[in-house]
Structure 1
Amino acid sequence: MSLQGARQAWHRLDVTVRDLPLGILFLLASFLPGLRGHGTEVGDLPTRPFDALAAVALALECLPLAVRRRWPAVCLALVAGGFALDQLRGYHSSAGATLPLVLISAGSHLEHRRRTTAVLLSVAYVPLAVALSRLGSGRETPEEFVTFYLVLALAWGAGAWLRSTRVAEAERRERVAEQTRTAERARIARELHDVVTHHVTAMVVQAEAARYLTAAPERLEQSLTAVSDTGRRALTDLRHLLDLLNPGPDPGHGAGQGTEHGTGTGAAGAKEPRTPAVGRVLTLVEQTRRAGQPVDFTEEGTPPASTGSADLVAYRVVQEALTNALKYAHGSRTSVQVRHGEREITVEVSTDGTGSRTAAAIGSGRGLAGLRERVGVLGGDFSAGGAADGGFTVRARIPAGGTS
């Protein structure tokens, strides 16, 4: 088994099993000739050889370490009792060193009645100090007992600091996780808005136009075909978004489930990338034209080798702008310009304001705000506003090579 595998197997063990070896180690060390009688000594009692009670004291001081994280209060009470017996009998074993260790552990892992536990330990220390002073030679001073108490208090304080640090780190991770979840929900909401608003708006406009084409069967068939194709594209884009939420296999995803922007069917459509590229902006333009919107499209330059998320953001800018043109300036001549620079993509979509001002749908207002946020995350510039002739222009400068 490799070292990594052994480490993973060790961490899979119960915490009691993992803590037990430390207690056994202290217990065995207490019987070493070089350490016997040279452990912690409070007061001035003469060192006594080990007897039957010594085994009890050592067991109380060492074996409860196995539950120091699972039951810290129980462990602390048992070890403190064993330590008191050790000192009162004068064994002065090296197992006495477990008391500061258990205090650190209890201060770190005890969740309830922390102050009560600290007060009880402090109160219990007083009769122990009095008994050790009376049983001793009388040469010890109160300062010795106070100093040892301060050492124990420092150990408890160290454990409390570890606990507060651990709690603060857990809260920080929870905040980060919540912020991540919120950002992901907002991102998915933007994607749903972009996909649903654009496709549904196009379908509404195409369906409205079909109402007036009953006398022209060929044009009516073309209009209804456009509605059907737009619906299929909407389903495909929505399926891609659902795949982000549930990346498992989709049994309904396959042949006969529709095309992606009219460029393939079945398995061919499934092989297309989920993230739309700027090169597919032309598909948006053609779809908008079929909905009755005159659109001029110009694309200049060569896309950079690495665009990061810039191509997706540029695609969404064009998508949202064309959607708004269909909704609020239906029939207005629309211009789409995409320019590829060495380090950025520039997008400009404008309408001349000559079409109908009747919206095909009511906007929620989050589209342009979402675009401004998308572009801003990549360090770009975004503007949208009306012109003197009644038109509307959307501009975006998107640095290439970043991620969102």
Structure 2
Amino acid sequence: MSRARAVWQRVPAPVVDIVLVAVAAVDVWLNMWDHTRLGVALAAVGCAALVFRRRFPLGVFLLTLPIALMQDVAVVVLVALFTLAERSRNRRLLAGCVTLSAVASSTPWPLADVDRTMTLVFFVYGLATAAAPVLFGQLLQAQRDLARRLAEIEEAREHERALHAQAVLARERAQLAREMHDVVSHQVSLIAVRAGALQVAAKDADAKEAAHTIRSLSVTTLDELRTMVTLLRASGGHATELTPQPTLADLRKLVESSGTHVELSGELPPNVGTPAQRAVYRTVQEALTNVRKHAPGARACAELWQDGDDVGVTVTNTAPTRPSLPLPGSQLGLVGLRERADILHGTLEAGPTAEGGYRVRLRIPLSAD
């Protein structure tokens, strides 16, 4: 089934349209009752309109309605209904179009004495016939939405796994850097000090030379250790991803790599402390992660601002454009942000907006340290 569908999808759209127009024209010609000039003209317009069914599905359906008056089951009407159902999410509109199709197919043509019983039977039959392509079109639409959401979920999981791996690597780097700085560097410093003392106290020339060599090597080793510690604390060329202590300098790259359409505006004064910068960064990071998970297709705006002695950031997103699927989460992201804000004597507000979106607002003192 999937192989046949893949082969069908590789067929160019113009070829599909030409085939459908030809099939619809043959169907109309074989089954049409009204062969007057008006009837033939309406049938030709309805069949030719199928070429534009992807761009104007509702208009094409309306153009095919006269053909439903001329024969019981018209391929052209069913194709138009299927295309409309595949592209529209308006259930009321689809129900109305099904009803219109059933009314057109059950109305006697040419107009004559109406047999109410047979008209009702034909109307019910027309409803069932018209509902079939609509249901099939809606099924394909739901299948595409589900495939897109599954792809987004898998992408989000890959992104989270990459972030987790980067966080683990950053912690290991930081721990190793601390061990080297606090233990190894301390011991090498003691060696250098003892060697210097030995160099001063020694009377033998060979002993002085040995002490001098030990001291020189110790100093060189200390310089190399400082370089290694610096490298371990750095990101290795990926500041936003690997640096364990991000700042405002990393904010733009975070926005660009978030996978969401985000507008970053405003700026903070240059004297904002490092803890405050990290709080702003983590707030934007968590808010954009929530947008990606729970508001697919939404747009977001991250605004940096200063209000007197306070600074902060407001992240607002619009309502989702596509239905979201439930994703597993710890529900602790905002809790952690509030705890971080409390430590800095600030506040964090989060909640839905009147337009159906969501807003996260962090406020911390400019002097937070």
When normalised by structure 1's length, the TM-score is 0.44
Q: Is the radius of gyration larger for structure 1 or structure 2?
A: 1
**Which is bigger in relative contact order (C-alpha 8 A, separation at least 6)?**
1
| Bigger helix share | 2
- Normalising to structure 2: TM-score of the pair? 0.47
